[in-house]
Amino acid sequence: MKLADEVKVALITAACVLTIAIVFKNIFHAQPDFVLSNAPVYLLILYLITRGKSRRSECNKPLYWSISIIFVTLFIIGFYAI
């Protein structure tokens, strides 16, 4: 069974949102801003909107979008850690 590219990016996004929620609740004991805690979801929406417009683009690969979603998640956690 092969997963579609959209499903792969969506699963990574879900894992990142859950990671943000768990880290903030159990480690930082704080409530993150709504906009920042859902930033990976905004990148997923952007991916879904732009994936059909430039299919032949080299930058429109799910791997790049997944890495950017993970990077944004780590940036948000690191920003609150400082």
pLDDT digit string (tens) for 19-38? Answer: 999 999 999 999 988 998 99
pLDDT > 70 fraction of the chain, expressed in percent and rounded: 95
State how many domains the chain has: 1
Domain that holds residue 51: 5-81
Mean of all residue pLDDT scores within the chain: 91
Across the chain, the runs of DSSP E, i.e. the strands, are none
**Residue of 61 and 40 predicted with greater confidence:** 40
Please tell me the predicted confidence (pLDDT) of residue 55. 62
CA dihedral (13, 22, 77, 30) positive or negative? positive
Residue tagged 């994936």 (tokens): 51
